[in-house]
Amino acid sequence: MYSLVKILVTIGSSASIGFGVWHFFVPAAWKWYSYIDSRATELIVAVRAINVFFSLSLVLFGALNLLFIHGGKANRYSIVVMLTATCILWLTRLVFQLIYPQGSINPVLQYGMLSAFIVVNLCYMISLFVVVLQRITD
């Protein structure tokens, strides 16, 4: 059963890291700042800071989950805590995509993002339940 957790966390973490790295380049690729008045310098700085913080968070969450699952040094409690935090993060993103969909200009982008968020969330949630239930059945 634990090998299933390793596989799922590796998939979810790879996607998290990929989304995080990709998101560092999103403002330039989608020309975010062209939609903001150039005189609103504080807003531009705030958007940049939030995006860097978000992008770095995804990369770090992904990397930490990989280290906890594959490193052999983490205990069950730390793995459960990390997976819980990651599930909350991705579930929040999934809910936002359902309520306030991004990419609605292009249905392939909108539903592609939704599908990706569902898959990543399931990878982490299934892993969390397996780790929690494994202790109960031991």
Q: Could you tell me which of 26, 30, 45, 12 has the C-alpha nearest to residue 123?
A: 12
pTM: 0.92
- 88 and 124 Cβ atoms separated by less than 8 Å: no
Q: What pLDDT digit, counting tens, does each position of 49-106 carry?
A: 999 999 999 999 999 999 999 998 999 999 999 999 999 999 999 999 999 999 888 9
Instruction: Output phi, psi for 34, to 5 deg.
Output: -70, -15
